[in-house]
Amino acid sequence: MAHIGDAHQAENQGEAAGEQEQQRAERDPVQEMEPEGFEVHLRATSLPLPSVAFDSQSGQGRRALLTSGDPQGGTLPEQVGIYPELRGKTAIVTGGNTGIGEAVARRLGAQGANVTVIGSRHPAEAERVAEEIRAAGGSALAVAADLTRLSEGERMARETIDRFGQVDILVNSAGGFYAFRRVVDTDEDEWDRVIDVNLKSAFVSARSVLPDMLERSWGRIILISSEAGRMPVAFTAAHYAASKAGLLGFARHLAREVAPNGVTVNVTAPATTFSQRVRGLLTPEAEQRMLGVTPIGRIAEVDDQVGAVLFLASDDASYITGATIDVAGGKVML
């Protein structure tokens, strides 16, 4: 049987619990999560989020800092910068004169990075991209280099370091192939040329920038592969698929080699993307076939391929290495 003293004790405990609950309700939930000495500027209010529009052709949006109004009509104590912040970093983009590489180079410049734009067969196009990055307020250098030769890759790295002091980010977007050809119709020279342009160039580029990255214990290497390196797809060829699949193996092994030195190596694998060249190759019938196997329901534009690359180049991706991100609209799910 319960005693009167027990009833008084329960009543007192209930009153104490009620007081504690009221105190918790009155406390700032954000303040409760703050470590000692930490000041929170952005609290859980109805502040509008800033929006950023970026045009890869004009390069507009570079280093823009936005200020959002708070509900009282003032401004936030600090400005909100465009993500990711890459000021002070230097990036080399091979194949930066066209297509996905050009879109990546422009966006890196817009995020504040120094950019070396590499063109091999079309150096004037690389210079055009670099000039447009500079015109938008960025810092860029154009270098013509044949990245099937190690001496040319080393010169690429040396000219970048001479200009900007270091190499932090390598985006290897150089590549391509020359014809939709069956293996039985492919000669040895064409096979070697496609393997060199897509796979050997990645080795040459990485080999050339790694000494600087390893010395400073920081680096990001991002290789642009293809859905063709992940699975058989239409409108490609075996030599191209083999070279792009080779990038996946190269990236994984290199990632294990250099991870202890603060360098990450990752891959993006785009689906067919509407670069200027691809638009000229695809027939309306081919486009409809591709749409039929793409869950998102459209073919990628070059800007669709940029976000994954920028993320992998950022500090936020420091614990990711040896990974492949399929930027394929749902066509590839591995």
DSSP 61-96: TTT-EE-PBPTTSSB-SS-EEPSSP-TT-EEEEETT
Separate counts of helices (H) and strands (E) for the chain: 11, 11
Q: How far apart, in Å, do the first and last CA atoms of the chain sit?
A: 65
- Inter-axis angle of helices 188-195 and 238-258, to 10 degrees? 30
Q: What distance in Å separates the CA atoms of residue 334 and residue 323, rounded to the nearest whole number?
A: 12
Residue 12: C-alpha distances to residues 3, 9, 204 (Å): 15, 5, 76
Task: Kindly tell me the burial class for residue 26, based on how many C-beta atoms sit within 10 Å of its own C-beta (0-12, 13-18, 19 or more).
Answer: exposed
Select from 239, 299, 305 the least CA-distant residue to 101. 305
Which residue is it, tokens 């307020």? 137
**Phi and psi based region of residue 202 (left: phi greater than 0; alpha: psi -120 to 50; beta: remaining):** alpha
Residue appearing with tokens 């509008």: 48
DSSP 246-285: HHHHHHHHHHHHHGGGTEEEEEEEE-SEE-HHHHHH--HH
| Residue 240 a catalytic site member | yes
Helices (H), 136-180: 150-164
Q: Which of 83, 178, 240, 319 is catalytic?
A: 240
Query: Rounded to an integer, what distance in angstroms lies between the CA atom of residue 324 and that of residue 223?
Result: 9
Enzyme catalytic residues: 240
